[in-house]
Structure 1
Amino acid sequence: MSRANANDSSEGRPEPLSLQRELGLVSAVSLIAGTMIGSGIFMSPQTVLLNIGSPGASLLIWFLCGLVAMLGALSYAELGTVVRESGGEYVYIYRTSGQLPAFVFIFTSVLVVRPASIAGMSLSFAEYAAAPFYPDCPPPALVVKSAAAVGIVVLATVNCLNVRLSISIQNFFMAAKVLALVVIVVGGLVLLGVGGHTDSFQNAFEGSKVGVNPIGVAFFQGLWSYDGWNNLNYVTEELKRPESDDRRSFLSFSSRDNV
């Protein structure tokens, strides 16, 4: 009787909610690259150079920020193959530190961190989008804010409607941003090689500002520009094959599965 009841009760349980696995390798790479190559890379270089004071020190800041981003991305790639749950940092904090730290993190992230980041990126997009319509003066603040709000609503609607549609849009804009960066890089190389504009590399570290404040602000701008390398871990359950060759069980996570 008990075994039959157990079978009946198990059959009557609703199936757990699962996300559709729509993201392949190309879409996953596009999600990371498209997020990292955002408004920051087009706006941060001048701020980094202004705060650090010299081209040589600016390139050094960019190199160190890229190194930090690469190490973080490699760590998250390993975590994503071991803990195959969507949620990113929330899941990792929950599995290692418990419910309260995870709740505090997600509470501040949802109410403060993510909205502020989205607002900053949307305003940057709006400034670039409105600039062609105001060639002789900066665009009005109302126009910029309205364009930013429209962009947020449109993207939120697209992501809510269909995963494949949002992936296609992400891939398209990623390709457009990579093309824009290629044009900028090629143009810079032409100026260096053909035009001979090498003035910035003569006494490259002259005028460098050494201090906690200038270095800290420059690092902040550089890391903000590199931000996005952790976004794939928020949709781990939507990846078609999130596994890797490393099959370690990571017992510290598995022991907390029933917490």
Structure 2
Amino acid sequence: MGEKKPEALKMKREIGLTGAVALVSGTMIGSGIFMSPQYILTDMGSPGASLVIWALCGVVAVFAALSYTELGTVIPESGGEFVYILKIYGPCPAFFLAMNYMLIQQPFSHAGQSISIAEYVLAIFYTDCHPPQLAVKCAAAVALLIVATVNILNARIAVRIQVVFLMAKVIALIFIITGGIVELMQSSSVIAENLKIENAFKGTQFSLSTLGMAFYQGLWSYAGWNNLNCVTEELKRPEVNLPRAVVVSISLVTGLYLLVNVSYLTVMTSKELMSSSAVAMTWGNKVLGSWGWIMSMAAALSAFGSLNGSFFTGSRVCFVAAREGHMPDILSMAHVHRLTPSPALIFTTAISLLVLIPGDFKSIINFFSFTAWFFHAIVLSGLLYLKIKKPELPRPYRVPIILPILVFIVAIFLVLAPIVDNPQIEYLYATLFLCSGAFIYIPFIHYKLCPGLLNKLTVFLQLFLEVAPAEKNL
């Protein structure tokens, strides 16, 4: 009798509807709602205009997520944007997406989230001034390492953490909303200044640059709407749970964000909000007095849950890109016992720690958003191509074509508006970095030069990390 062939490793389908909702909304509700309100208000110049931006960002996130849902049922593989571009446009643009995602998008996203955790934790101890940048960076690095360790050890625990932290986040946001209602009933002085019709839009700034920057900050707060597309192979009944989780999650988050911003504007003046480095802490000090530190801790825990969800889904893109031959083979492997993509997680953590060194929160978010929406535009154009040229493809879920068209227009605006109206050297750096990928792709991916160059290192790391190749789970 022939020897039985060992079964290949596969990622397990362990994410149900509850876990899916937790991954999407739990990642979205994070640092953004506690860090971005002051930046949006500063960019737009008026409370009314800032609330309009928050609402529009929610609409864009819903339309974009529903468009991605159709792609996720047409191409039911993990990897998100990478696998969609690979299947529609081919390996070359997919490689550029993978490089951008692994070296810019995810590391900058993780760095921004970890900085917000550090800012809120340290705000408890530095009540009268901003914490030292060295302390912020060190605390942010510790947060990154804790989240990475959890995701490396056990995927199921990471999902459970997401569910628990989601409930804690929603409770914290409901508390802020309730506090704003109570404050409004007790005194109307601040609300009269901020939200009365005659004052709500006073001082609004109209320019392509400020509008683009405000959308960058707002959409950062909704970042995570496409998370489930990164883990489709680990999702139970994706054709059913993907659209349901998206609609439930983004509707919940949009409603909470609008009400929380109204609460902020009820309790604080516009000047206080714009000058705050930790808006939840400022809100807590005004409403709770000496117990204001509770809100700072709640904001830190919220950002921690968001960072955990981002790590869980983001590492899968790195994993899938390597599995398709666009990155070193070691990144496509999973731990033989834990079945987690530990090499991809370790790599993502290392790059995120490097990004922490020079970055500040606002510049990190602008850099992240510029590159992210560039590739969102490419993916949406691919969906439009499939809807027009290949209508015969099986689609368990469909969206009206007007939705991806509208989001595609928004994505083009977000990429071009800041460059046209207020060009900055950072956007040139981002463009040059993306173009530099050609020096890697052409010799090593397209022509496959030096195929054995990394073999010895791959074997060593495979034995050291106890990992093995994993197959697709379709």
Q: Would you call these one fold, judging by a TM-score over 0.5? A: yes
Structure possessing the higher relative contact order (Cα contacts under 8 Å, 6 or more residues apart): 1
Please name the residue that 2:74 is paired with.
82
1:73 aligns with 2:69: no
- Which of the residues 47, 59, 68 maps onto 1:55? 47
1:233 aligns with 2:376: no
CA distance in 2, matches of 1:73, 1:251: 19
Match of 2:205, SS state, is coil
Which residues of 2 match residues 130-141 of structure 1 at below 5 A? 130-141=122-133
- Which of the residues 150, 154, 170 maps onto 2:146? 154
Q: Is the 8 A contact 1:82 1:249 kept in 2?
A: no
CA distance in 2, matches of 1:91, 1:17: 20
Match of 2:36, SS state, is helix
Please name the residue that 2:89 is paired with.
97
CA distance in 2, matches of 1:38, 1:18: 30
1:64 aligns with 2:207: no
- Which of the residues 390, 393, 403 maps onto 1:250? 393
Match of 2:66, SS state, is helix
**How many aligned residue pairs are there?**
242
Q: 1:16 to 1:250 in 2, by over 3 A?
A: farther
Residue identity matched to 2:101: S
- Which of the residues 192, 196, 205 maps onto 1:198? 192
CA distance in 1, matches of 2:221, 2:136: 21
Match of 2:206, SS state, is coil
CA distance in 1, matches of 2:128, 2:50: 30
Which residues of 2 match residues 161-180 of structure 1 at below 5 A? 161-180=153-172
Residue identity matched to 2:73: T
CA distance in 2, matches of 1:230, 1:12: 40
Q: 1:208 to 1:136 in 2, by over 3 A?
A: closer
Q: Is the 8 A contact 2:74 2:394 kept in 1?
A: no
1:39 aligns with 2:31: yes
CA distance in 1, matches of 2:171, 2:192: 25
Please name the residue that 1:24 is paired with.
16
Per the TM alignment, residue 78 of structure 1 is displaced from its structure 2 partner at its CA by 2.2
CA distance in 1, matches of 2:119, 2:14: 33
Deviates more, 1:78-87 or 1:49-58: 78-87
- Which of the residues 208, 219, 224 maps onto 2:220? 224
Q: Is the 8 A contact 1:73 1:229 kept in 2?
A: yes
Per the TM alignment, residue 233 of structure 1 is displaced from its structure 2 partner at its CA by 1.0
1:213 aligns with 2:356: no
Q: Is the 8 A contact 2:28 2:225 kept in 1?
A: yes
User: For each residue in 1:23-65, what CA deviation from the matched residue of structure 2 results, as whole angstroms up to 9, or x when unmatched?
Assistant: 1110110000110001011111111111101111111111111
Q: Percent identity?
A: 54
CA distance in 1, matches of 2:126, 2:194: 31
Q: Is the 8 A contact 1:87 1:233 kept in 2?
A: yes
Per the TM alignment, residue 154 of structure 1 is displaced from its structure 2 partner at its CA by 1.0
Please name the residue that 1:4 is paired with.
none
Unaligned runs of 5+ in 1: 1-7, 253-259
CA distance in 1, matches of 2:146, 2:56: 35
Please name the residue that 2:398 is paired with.
none
CA distance in 2, matches of 1:108, 1:22: 28
Q: 1:96 to 1:15 in 2, by over 3 A?
A: farther
Q: Is the 8 A contact 1:81 1:244 kept in 2?
A: no
Per the TM alignment, residue 171 of structure 1 is displaced from its structure 2 partner at its CA by 1.4
CA distance in 2, matches of 1:98, 1:17: 26
CA distance in 1, matches of 2:7, 2:94: 26
Per the TM alignment, residue 135 of structure 1 is displaced from its structure 2 partner at its CA by 2.4
Q: 1:193 to 1:81 in 2, by over 3 A?
A: farther
1:106 aligns with 2:98: yes
CA distance in 1, matches of 2:19, 2:134: 35
Q: 1:122 to 1:80 in 2, by over 3 A?
A: same
CA distance in 2, matches of 1:137, 1:219: 28
Per the TM alignment, residue 243 of structure 1 is displaced from its structure 2 partner at its CA by 2.2
CA distance in 1, matches of 2:184, 2:65: 32
